[in-house]
Chain A
Amino acid sequence: MAQSRTEQFDGLVAPHMAMLYRVAYRLLRNAHDAQDLVQDTCVVACENPAQLGAAEHPGRWLLRFLHNRFIDGDRRSRKVPFVALEDPDVPGRLASDEPGPEELLQQADGEHTFQLAFLQLDPVHRTLLTLRAEGHGLGEIEAITGIAREVLRARLHRARRTLAQKLNESGAPQPAVRAGSKS
């Protein structure tokens, strides 16, 4: 059983890991939570071997699982900062789980503010914006999220507006408008 699950993982899940992680990271803006979410998704996906094997687009199917796991709110409960009471002045930077150079870079130039604004969005809005930013069209997003197309359009629009409004309120620096960004 474990063998077949592993084989299924190698054949159907592993090729999409990078994509799953990228989406998870964009959704959560946190490497650890993103890894947890991806692992969750893999575990749940492989608990349903028949569906996974029968999926026409395994990547899309996995994204659907990831979306559901994310919406379930499991991640939200993990956003709470906890600090030990003892010896808080002991440097905590010896282990390797501190922000790395990449994560530090991303905090520059208003990125941090952008992340905060993004994280304040409704989880569904975050998912929709992320999937769209990943280059998925409405048809694919509809298949992944199960949200009807017209509702989807409205929500995408509302998500963008809300995020723009939050950024405006926070006074974050905005990039210049260019019409040629890839999508």
Chain B
Amino acid sequence: MNCQDITRLLDDGDIGSMTKRERSEVEAHLFACPDCAADWKVHQRLVEGFAPPMPAGLTERARALVAAGVTVDTRRSPRRAMLFGTMLVVAAAAALLTFWRSDPVEIPAVVEAPAPPPAARSVVESPGVAPPSVAPAVEVQAPERAAGPHRVLVPSLRMAGGDATAYPEEQRFRRVVIEKLRTVPNLVVLDPQTDEGDLRAEYEIRITLTAPDPMAPLGPAITIDPRTPAAFAALDKVIAAEAKMNAEEYQRSREERAIEESERRRSSIRPGNLFLSPGRYFPRSLFLGFPPAPAGAPDQVESQASRLVNDLRVQFLPLDISLEADLLAVLRDAAQKESVRMLALGDLVSIRERHGGLQAADAVMAAGAALASAARTLEREMIWAALASSGSPELVPHLSRALESAPQIDTRLQIVRILSADFSGDSRAREALELASRQNQQQVVRMAALRELGARSKWNEYVVATLNDASLTPMQRLQPIADMAPPDLIAATSSVQSEIQLSDQEIRGMAGLIISAARDNSPEGASRKAATQAVKALGPVGGPVVLDALIDIMYTPFDIEPPGFARAAIGTIKQAARDAIARNFVADPKARALIKALVGSPDLALGGLPAQSAWLLMEGRANQEAVNKQRESPPPRQP
């Protein structure tokens, strides 16, 4: 046996079927020849290397891609980002659940859904007017409903983590959840600890305090397993729906998907969210859980159970007719906390996504618009975005009214964007934009409406002229360019870069305006918000002058004490400058040194983990650019 023999074996031989004598000869040679031994080790390691089993659903996803006629190299343009915040459930999860609408299980209907009260459209137009406390009358335009009643089994507890001390608490949580489930109309809840007889059910709802996945330490959780062939078939539909969604997602670049996924995860961490685990950790089941409660937190069993049951109703259980009315009542109830009303709105939007409609879409949009009018700046934006994400045409009249009457300019500008982006095919939306372009009280709104109607160059001229108009306040001068800030991380290169030419002097002037606006204590922080947006718009312009301007903004002292909203808002402006540098000056040595130095910096505003993330992003983008360059001039494949 010599080196050539070993190489021949490694290249083309059937090593597994070697005889004992051959193996001895090989081992003898390997003992004497370190090169061959090294080759052999490598081969051995590759052969024995770990390869996980094929993930469940991959074949179905691939089949769906093929059936959908997806092409590999076509990329979809990035969609407009929505500000879901904490009020909306994961859109993907909602989309996956649409199948429940048309998939009644094999239990005969016994209880008919109650007929809705006679139509008497309740109008909530004016904010601050207390709505009736009872469920309002709704218009009947019912989407398809599943038959009922539906039977769910809540089995006895099984210890997930083996922690005996958690057991009594689990029992209590289970009891509370069962009590609340029993209040859901059209649902039969079976408890093997108390019920006897026929315990057959369509779904099994298992309750734990510890998730079965050690990688996802959660608080109280519910796992939903299908129990009947119909329910299993429904789960196959989940996989198909996921494949369909995957086909759409497939066209995105890794960057877009990674950032969106990160955003989605961030926004999805709220009580009661639904996570679909397509065959990885919770195969063939759906999972609903809370983040773990912090140590020493007050008892939250009641509220958590309520939220879980509510989410079950919204996202999983067949829609019962009272749910929408209940949620609408909460949305209209001015006595409720704003956050509670926003959650109700989020649930209503989920119902629309899941069932393709709302019984009282007009009333929901009216109540949402009223809530938006009353809410604070940030919430207002989120509410409008949530309403827009419903895609409901009933929203257009409310948007049109708010475009003329909303007291805040940023609200009007947001509405201009919504009307243009989300209702582009609606003639009423176009009319509203045309009207606004002619007679809106605010010039910036008129110009923004013109821009959305196609007069892009006029808008650009207006932006530069406004920026240079010394008769205006800093906020007013920044407002138009702030409206051009990238809406999200994905669109990091905004239209400012490609459409507006700013001289070095204008850029320096803009930095000065941003700093002045940051010092302005205007109501609701409108000036500081414009400053933040202007920083985001400035970054993609690029160039050394912009870099210096952003650094100036980062390190300008503001001397605002004590800690509070103002200081936080200025921190946000500085962080926006830091992030704009990280995103737009990837290859600039000065920028790299600056951001790297912030990692581990004790500076509360600019250092810490966010700085680390900024640095990682910078590194990632630098790598991406290097890879792109390499791809543009690939080396020859064959010698």
User: Count the A residues whose beta carbon is within 8 Å of the partner chain — how many?
Assistant: 88
Are A94 and B52 interface neighbours, CB within 8 A? no
Are B62 and A17 interface neighbours, CB within 8 A? yes
Decide if B280 is an interface residue (CB 8 Å cutoff). Answer: yes
Identify which of A139, A177, A183 contacts B15 (C-beta below 8 A).
A183
Decide if B527 is an interface residue (CB 8 Å cutoff). Answer: no
What residue in chain A is nearest B626 (Cβ atoms)? A80
Tell me the chain A residues, 14-69 only, with Cβ under 8 Å from chain B.
Answer: 14, 17-18, 21-22, 25-26, 31, 35-36, 38-40, 42-44, 46-47, 69
Are A85 and B612 interface neighbours, CB within 8 A? no
Identify which of B218, B609, B613, B616 contacts A94 (C-beta below 8 A).
B218
Are B639 and A151 interface neighbours, CB within 8 A? yes
Are A133 and B43 interface neighbours, CB within 8 A? yes
CB distance from A153 to the nearest CB of B (A): 6
Decide if B115 is an interface residue (CB 8 Å cutoff). Answer: no
Are A13 and B254 interface neighbours, CB within 8 A? no
What residue in chain B is nearest A136 (Cβ atoms)? B12
The complex places the Cα of A46 from the Cα of B253 at a distance, in Å, of 22
Are B637 and A132 interface neighbours, CB within 8 A? no
Q: Which residues on B sit within 8 Å (CB–CB) of A92?
A: 262, 265-266
Are A96 and B50 interface neighbours, CB within 8 A? no
Are A94 and B617 interface neighbours, CB within 8 A? no
Are B50 and A106 interface neighbours, CB within 8 A? yes
CB distance from B349 to the nearest CB of A (A): 21
The complex places the Cα of A182 from the Cα of B66 at a distance, in Å, of 36
Q: Which residues on A sit within 8 Å (CB–CB) of B253?
A: 77
The complex places the Cα of A88 from the Cα of B620 at a distance, in Å, of 15
Decide if B196 is an interface residue (CB 8 Å cutoff). Answer: no
Are A81 and B616 interface neighbours, CB within 8 A? yes
Are B266 and A87 interface neighbours, CB within 8 A? yes
The A-B contact count (CB < 8 A) is: 266
Q: Which residues on A sit within 8 Å (CB–CB) of B579?
A: 85
Decide if B297 is an interface residue (CB 8 Å cutoff). Answer: no
CB distance from B125 to the nearest CB of A (A): 36
What residue in chain A is nearest B254 (Cβ atoms)? A78
What residue in chain B is nearest A47 (Cβ atoms)? B71
- The listed residue with most A CB atoms (<10 A of its CB), out of B265, B268, B610, B612, is B265
The complex places the Cα of A138 from the Cα of B12 at a distance, in Å, of 6
Report A151-177 CB contacts with B as 1/0, cut-off 8 Å: 111001100110110011000001101
The complex places the Cα of A92 from the Cα of B631 at a distance, in Å, of 32
What residue in chain B is nearest A36 (Cβ atoms)? B250
User: Count the B residues whose beta carbon is within 8 Å of the partner chain — how many?
Assistant: 99
Decide if B441 is an interface residue (CB 8 Å cutoff). Answer: no
Q: Which residues on A sit within 8 Å (CB–CB) of B250?
A: 36, 39
The complex places the Cα of A96 from the Cα of B268 at a distance, in Å, of 13
Q: Which residues on B sit within 8 Å (CB–CB) of A111?
A: 49-50
CB distance from A102 to the nearest CB of B (A): 5
Are A183 and B215 interface neighbours, CB within 8 A? no
Are A95 and B23 interface neighbours, CB within 8 A? no
Q: Which residues on B sit within 8 Å (CB–CB) of A98?
A: 215-216
Are B624 and A100 interface neighbours, CB within 8 A? no
The complex places the Cα of A107 from the Cα of B213 at a distance, in Å, of 18
CB distance from B489 to the nearest CB of A (A): 7
Known: A2-B69, A88-B612, A94-B268. A39 touches B62 (CB 8 A): yes
Tell me the chain A residues, 73-104 only, with Cβ under 8 Å from chain B.
Answer: 73, 76-100, 102-103
CB distance from A21 to the nearest CB of B (A): 4
Are B266 and A164 interface neighbours, CB within 8 A? no
Are B613 and A84 interface neighbours, CB within 8 A? yes
The complex places the Cα of A42 from the Cα of B45 at a distance, in Å, of 29
Are B631 and A77 interface neighbours, CB within 8 A? yes
Q: Which residues on B sit within 8 Å (CB–CB) of A76?
A: 627, 630-631
Are A73 and B66 interface neighbours, CB within 8 A? no
Are B265 and A94 interface neighbours, CB within 8 A? yes
Identify which of B59, B269, B281 contacts A96 (C-beta below 8 A).
B281
Pairs A-B, 5 closest by C-beta atoms: A182-B16, A183-B15, A133-B46, A84-B262, A164-B38
Known contacts A77-B624, A85-B582; 18 additional CB pairs below 8 A are A5-B69, A9-B67, A14-B63, A26-B46, A73-B627, A79-B627, A84-B262, A85-B614, A88-B610, A88-B613, A94-B273, A103-B52, A124-B637, A157-B39, A164-B39, A164-B41, A168-B38, A177-B44
Q: Which residues of A contact B (CB under 8 A)?
A: 1-2, 5-6, 9-10, 13-14, 17-18, 21-22, 25-26, 31, 35-36, 38-40, 42-44, 46-47, 69, 71, 73, 76-100, 102-103, 105-106, 111, 114, 124, 129-130, 132-133, 137-139, 147, 151-153, 156-157, 160-161, 163-164, 167-168, 174-175, 177-183
